Structures are given as structure tokens and as C-alpha cells.
Amino acid sequence: MTTPQDNHAEAQAAAPMVSVRDLRVTFSGGGKTIRAVNGVSLDVAPGEALALIGESGSGKSVTLRALMRLHPPRRTRMEGAIRIDGADVMALDARALQRLRGGTVAMVFQEPLLALDPVYTVGQQIIECIRTHASVSASEARQRALRALESVRIPSPERRLAAYPHEMSGGMRQRAMIALALSASPKVLLADEPTTALDATVQIQVLILLRELQRELGLSIVFVTHDIGAAVEIADRVAVMYGGRIVEEGPIRTLLRAARHPYTIALLQSRQHGMDRGQRLQTIAGSPPDLAALPPGCTFAPRCPHARPACLAQVPATTDLGQGHRVSCILASEPAVAEAAA
């Protein structure tokens, strides 16, 4: 008899559904060159949920959109390798890329009121997506759209099919956005901070819904957030980003209990969970780096309380700590540093 742990281990052993190697994304404009992503490598197994965590400007959303090549090509330079369900995303022509978007990989955006077209009903938009990726009649597409709304637990789905986005609440719009993303049965779901614009009660409802759908449909999910609490609800693994690089990666429980990178530790310390009333919230001193003028060496060194001269000399190598836990820090082999910071 197999257990959920056995199934997860099998997924980890399978070929990755999403594979990224040395991804670099550079934007040019206004006389500046912005190095937004600087050598990101990651894998997402079939049926696995990976959370990308970090402050604003760390490169999370740029990485996510790069997976679907959504950045404007005229001012964007992308290097590296991206494979999704075996397809070489960087080599796809326009027609193949259109089939990939929505059919194999779909995205849930942060603000559905901006992502959904205001002049078409929710039903029209879902039906269009279905008919773009499947040769079905209008009536069959409508039935599939109805089932998609039912799957995301929207009340009165028949009525919502005829509703315009502005006629729905924020939580309902986000559920409709998820239904649209899943309507063509993709294998990978990308979620770009989908709960940021929602109140706390609706946030947890949407997170639970995403987790349930992921398990029911066997989806691979890449979830961008700055909220570790949200990552705990949905993620199997976490990749912490800073300055366009992944500085630490591992199973969610490992990072919560045994984080090694000073930035990850600082993020964990800056949350309210477990604090006593009246206790001062800890913050991270300084500001994120200017991506147009990245410092040499470790980009977190100017803000790191444990920085040494060697930290400024070169980008630290990635150390494998075992059990899928990796960290890019010259202090990774010194657990005493993490214990002192915790």
C-alpha cells in the first residue's frame, strides 16, 4: 500500500515537469540595463508545488513570466534553458508558443480585474480559451466552462458565466481567473501572488482551493509570494530569491526549521507568527540591491550581519546540504551562524 510520501518520492524521481537552467533575464531601456534574473536554475516535479519567495524586486515575477516568454521581446534578453513537459520553450516559434500557453502551462495573475477583459463576460473568456485549445462545439465549450467554474467552488456558476468581471467580488474574480487558467487542462500552473489583493479570510480560501485543485488534478505549481505563511499553505518546496538569484532552496519544513542563508533567516524573523503582544517586529536593515548596478560577490552582503570580506569578492557557490536542501553562502558549512541568528 502506497502512502502520500511514497507518491511524492516517486514524483521527485520522475523527469521534472519544469526544468530551468542558468536563466538570465535582462531588460534594456532608458539608457539602463536591468539584470533582473541572474543564473536561476530550478526543477519542479510532476504534481509538486514550488514557492518562490523574496522581497519585491528579487526577480520572482520576472522568473515566472519568463517561463511562458511573456516579456516584451524588443527590450528583453533571455538566456539559458527552459523546458516544460519536455518542450524547449526558448526554441518554440509563435504558433507552438501559443499552444503551450494555456494548453500546457497557464498563469493566474495577481490582479484578476486587470487580467480579465472587462468588455467580455467571464463565460465568453473561458469558452474562448477552451475552443482555442480543443476542437469542440460552442455548446460543449460552454458546458466545460460551467464545470470549470464549479470546480473552483463558485456559487451560482450558471449566473457567473454571464457576469462581467466588474460585477464580481475580488475573491470571486480570482476564482474565475483560476477557472480560466485551468479550463484547457494544463499540466503546469503559474501563480503570481494571486492572494495579495484579497483580504485575509479570502486569501486562505483561495490558497486552500489551489492546494485542493493541485492534488485533484496532479498539477505542478510555481507559486510566487512574499508571504512565508502563504508558502506554508501550498508549497512542497521553497526557493528563496534575492538580487535575481536563488540563495536557498529546500523542502518547506526544512527551511522553516533549519534555514542556513542569513537572508532566509531574516525573512523568517520578520514575520509576526509566534510573536508576543507588544514585541517589536524585526526588520531587515538596508534596501534591496539596484539591479542596474549589482554589487560584486554576494548581493546580500551589504545587508548581512555576518558578512566577511570574502563575501564581496565573488558570487558564492551553491552547497548541497542533502535532502534537497541547497544554499549559496560561504557560511553554509557553519551551522553556528544559523543558530546564532535564529
- What pLDDT band is residue 340 in, cutting at 50, 70 and 90? very low
Q: Is residue 77 part of a domain?
A: no
Domain endpoint, select from 134, 155, 185: 185
Backbone angles phi, psi at 184, to 5 degrees: -100, 20
Residues 252 and 313 in one domain: yes
- What per-residue confidence (pLDDT) applies to 304? 92
Residues 309 and 196 in one domain: yes
- Compute the chain's Rg from CA coordinates: 21
Q: Helix 122-133 to helix 138-151 angle, to the nearest 10 degrees?
A: 110
Q: Report the range out of 138-142, 223-227, 309-313 with the highest average pLDDT.
A: 138-142
Helices and strands counted in the chain (H then E): 13, 12
Residues 240 and 300 in one domain: yes
Residues 179 and 317 in one domain: no
Q: What span, in angstroms and rounded, lies between the C-alpha atoms of 342 and 264?
A: 10
Using the predicted structure, report yes or no on whether residue 210 has a pLDDT greater than 60: yes
Q: Is residue 89 part of a domain?
A: no
- What per-residue confidence (pLDDT) applies to 1? 47
- What pLDDT band is residue 201 in, cutting at 50, 70 and 90? confident
Q: Is residue 219 part of a domain?
A: yes
- What per-residue confidence (pLDDT) applies to 34? 95
With 0.85 as the threshold, say if the pTM is over it.
yes
Q: Is residue 7 part of a domain?
A: no
Using the predicted structure, report yes or no on whether residue 30 has a pLDDT greater than 90: no
Q: What is the pLDDT of residues 115-136, one digit of tens each?
A: 899 999 999 999 999 999 999 9
Indicate the number of domains in the chain: 2
- What per-residue confidence (pLDDT) applies to 282? 74
Q: Is residue 25 part of a domain?
A: no
Using the predicted structure, report yes or no on whether residue 168 has a pLDDT greater than 90: yes
- What per-residue confidence (pLDDT) applies to 9? 52
Residues 223 and 158 in one domain: no
Q: What is the mean pLDDT of residues 292-302?
A: 91
Residues 177 and 236 in one domain: no
Domain endpoint, select from 152, 185, 218: 185
**Strand order across the beta sheet in which 318-322 lies:** 105-108, 188-192, 220-225, 49-53, 237-242, 245-251, 325-328, 318-322
Q: Is residue 10 part of a domain?
A: no
Average pLDDT, the chain: 89
Residues 226 and 331 in one domain: yes
- What per-residue confidence (pLDDT) applies to 199? 82
- What per-residue confidence (pLDDT) applies to 4? 44
Contact 322, 303 (CB under 8 A): no
Residues 219 and 325 in one domain: yes
Q: What span, in angstroms and rounded, lies between the C-alpha atoms of 197 and 227?
A: 13
Q: What span, in angstroms and rounded, lies between the C-alpha atoms of 104 and 316?
A: 35
Integer angstrom CA distances of residue 48 from 61, 161, 215, 245: 19, 31, 9, 21
Residues 54 and 203 in one domain: yes
Using the predicted structure, report yes or no on whether residue 246 has a pLDDT greater than 50: yes
Q: What is the mean pLDDT of residues 158-182?
A: 93
Q: Is residue 75 part of a domain?
A: no
Q: Is residue 35 part of a domain?
A: no
- What per-residue confidence (pLDDT) applies to 284? 85
Residues 262 and 290 in one domain: yes
Share of the chain above pLDDT 90, in %: 69
- What per-residue confidence (pLDDT) applies to 190? 97
- What per-residue confidence (pLDDT) applies to 262? 93
CATH number for 264: 3.40.50.300
Quote the longest CA-to-CA distance of the chain. 67
Residues 288 and 331 in one domain: yes
Q: What span, in angstroms and rounded, lies between the C-alpha atoms of 23 and 67?
A: 10
Residues 6+ apart with CB under 8 A from 19: 42, 43, 44, 81, 82, 83, 84
Residues 175 and 215 in one domain: no
Provide the residue type at 133 as one letter: H
Q: What span, in angstroms and rounded, lies between the C-alpha atoms of 101 and 123?
A: 19
List the beta bridge partners of residue 195.
none
Q: Which domain range does residue 181 map to?
A: 113-185
- What pLDDT band is residue 341 in, cutting at 50, 70 and 90? very low
Q: What is the pLDDT of residues 1-24, one digit of tens each?
A: 444 445 455 545 578 999 999 999
- What pLDDT band is residue 285 in, cutting at 50, 70 and 90? confident
Using the predicted structure, report yes or no on whether residue 65 has a pLDDT greater than 80: yes
306 CB neighbour count, 10 Å cutoff = 17
Domain endpoint, select from 185, 201, 226: 185
- What pLDDT band is residue 52 in, cutting at 50, 70 and 90? very high
- What per-residue confidence (pLDDT) applies to 195? 84
